[in-house]
Chain A
């Protein structure tokens, strides 16, 4: 058996890295177990001529397609939105685009404002200092003064708009609608040892330049310098408890498949909105027959994924193509509730540049815009380098029927039950998707686009994994309290997207990390009464 640690963090992704770094100042003995490995930037696809092909091979966003040693299978057959993730030091931040919006103040008060779902037990003002701290740690580029948000600082200048941002921005001005350069976890100048962005355009498959803020290049180097131990290739299967109902540590499989028990005084789950409920449900015991921390019955329930719609068009003039960060600007015009639209809550747009030649050809053929045969080359030349568009990120409301359970048959390489996803689009989400497609077409037409294509929902876009162990003051309606501690197990904390009460209509990483820093701060300030 290993030596007991003070704090055991499970997962080295967005939230695990942030909580580890923050707790380092306590000088407690802290260990993080991560099922994947460190990534080598020199091995990222953008370093090779097969950079596009590898996006559907070892850097595919679906673990079911990737099937690397670090991955576990996910049964998502019963969901129109397929799950995306990455398992390794950095977690999903290795493959995310670095698009980095915050939630809006209204997102924390949807019950009070709109009479739906639940309010968060914390608010924007509570998280604001942690958003700001996280922006500095991750190296966020942005432009001051976005009218979609309360005032916030800019750490460094924004990513370039390019032809795409300008063309679509002019269209938005003609329509009188909001747009703004995206906040991005991409450094635009040298920052804390990271080289500035050189527009590789491959943020979604790891940044070879190190400009993108994945936690293996932001929080982890700092945390490790502060003597946090990170043990990679260690896959946790379950949390153990004692007769007092306290967590005593976790069982994990090492790289050789050997099962080991790691004792700990405090356990912190940071495995994302699917990995965390998977482990909690797999930790069922005589003491906790429905899974650990699950007296509410809500572990795994209220899964929110953010339905996406994609709207793209083609232009007579050349656009940015595959050069530059894929996402350049955003719009929050349709973010806040306006009941005249026929749905509650709202969505944002991410305006995106083009693709490389492989993806242009594949998409063009799939959309019927590029034929087989003699006309292939002429059609490809008309479209390649001339496309731009957007995706809408629609707020997904919590529903208990959307959930993560343990698959009765499917298991990973270590024999741990795989998660099974059951998910349906709500009527509200469908109306929101339809609205965003219609407005998106208007935007592209105002920009002069032709050959417009749409997809809704976008199937391979289940990046944002939220809500499956939500926070709240009421133990019957939530899994963790307002500072991230399990209602049932007093030394068990959850810091990842599982604790989200509602999803907002933006990418969640900024908020996931702000919440993790907030919970770490709560742990530090309550250290002498933590288990009361």
Chain B
């Protein structure tokens, strides 16, 4: 997270729909004891989601309105299994809007230190340490070399030579 983002107050553009969004992200990526992972509704992750919506703000509002309409009112007040069924239907019917929900959730969930540690990724930016990548076995190219040129040679006047 950049210093700029850290200093930004958590946005509250979805005051009416915050419980809806909380319920959605909790269904999307639930906590897992098996893998030792928090859910996307973890307070720290959810706060990050709220303050990091950025350019998706209009589309996220549209998606939340659509979910609420789909749920016929307050999604968050429904029983959990009913929420899950409704969200599965919504995801099939409105893949583009579901994609917005997935993007704003994944962008924050998969940078949380606990999550990164659990999936085996160092909790650091790529720069300045970088990464190691195998050079590779250049002899794999021997058959390609042996085949000879494959480009179309062009002679004077544009005729094939």
Contacts and interface: CB of A to CB of B under 8 A. Distances in A.
Contacts of B18: none
Contacts of A335: 151
Given A49-B1, A358-B106, A209 B130 contact: yes
Interface in A159-204: 160-163, 165-166, 169-170, 172-173, 176, 178-181, 197-202
Interface string A345-374: 000000000001110111001100000111
B9 interface: no
Nearest to A66: B55
Nearest to B140: A169
Contacts of A201: 126, 131
A246 to B, nearest CB: 35
Given A147-B147, A336-B152, A50 B1 contact: yes
Contact of A362 (B106, B121, B135, B157): B106
Interface in A102-126: 104-106, 108-109, 111-113, 119, 123-124
Interface in B84-130: 84, 87-88, 91, 95, 99, 102-103, 106-111, 115-116, 119-121, 123-130
Interface stretch (A87-95, A131-139, A376-384, A483-491): A376-384
A161 B136 CA distance: 5
Contacts of A333: 150
Contacts of A148: 149-151
Contacts of B107: 50, 52-53, 56, 358, 362
B151 A160 contact: no
Contacts of B103: 56, 362
B7 interface: no
A180 B141 contact: yes
Contacts of A52: 107, 110-111
B34 interface: yes
B113 to A, nearest CB: 9
Contact of B130 (A143, A181, A200, A378): A200
B154 A372 contact: no
B interface bracket (residues with beta carbon within 8 Å of A):
35 or more
Contacts of A105: 151-154
Contacts of B91: 372
Contact of B119 (A209, A323, A357): A357
B37 A377 contact: yes
Given A67-B55, A336-B152, A113 B160 contact: yes
Interface in A197-255: 197-202, 208-209
B148 A147 contact: yes
Contacts of A112: 157-159
A48 interface: yes
Given A145-B145, A336-B152, A380-B119, A161 B37 contact: no
A419 interface: no
B144 A147 contact: yes
B130 A199 contact: yes
A60 B55 CA distance: 10
B52 interface: yes
A166 B145 contact: no
A121 B140 CA distance: 39
Interface size class of A (residues with CB under 8 A): 35 or more
B136 A366 contact: no
A373 B27 contact: yes
A51 B140 CA distance: 34
Interface string A57-68: 100100001010
A136 B150 CA distance: 25
B105 to A, nearest CB: 8
Nearest to A55: B107
A47 interface: yes
A124 B154 CA distance: 9
A113 B152 contact: yes
Leading 8 A-B pairs by shortest Cβ distance: A198-B130, A112-B158, A161-B136, A323-B131, A109-B158, A324-B133, A357-B110, A361-B106
20 contacts: A47-B125, A48-B2, A50-B2, A57-B54, A112-B158, A145-B145, A148-B150, A163-B134, A198-B131, A208-B128, A324-B133, A333-B150, A356-B121, A358-B106, A372-B28, A373-B28, A376-B30, A377-B37, A380-B119, A384-B119
Interface of A: 44, 46-54, 56-57, 60, 65, 67, 104-106, 108-109, 111-113, 119, 123-124, 143, 145, 147-150, 160-163, 165-166, 169-170, 172-173, 176, 178-181, 197-202, 208-209, 320, 322-324, 332-333, 335-337, 356-358, 360-362, 365-366, 372-374, 376-378, 380-381, 384-385
Interface of B: 1-2, 5, 27-30, 32, 34-35, 37, 52, 54-56, 84, 87-88, 91, 95, 99, 102-103, 106-111, 115-116, 119-121, 123-138, 140-141, 143-145, 147-154, 157-160
Given A51-B126, A162-B136, A365-B99, 13 more contacts: A44-B127, A60-B55, A104-B151, A108-B154, A147-B145, A163-B134, A200-B131, A322-B126, A323-B133, A358-B106, A362-B103, A372-B88, A376-B29
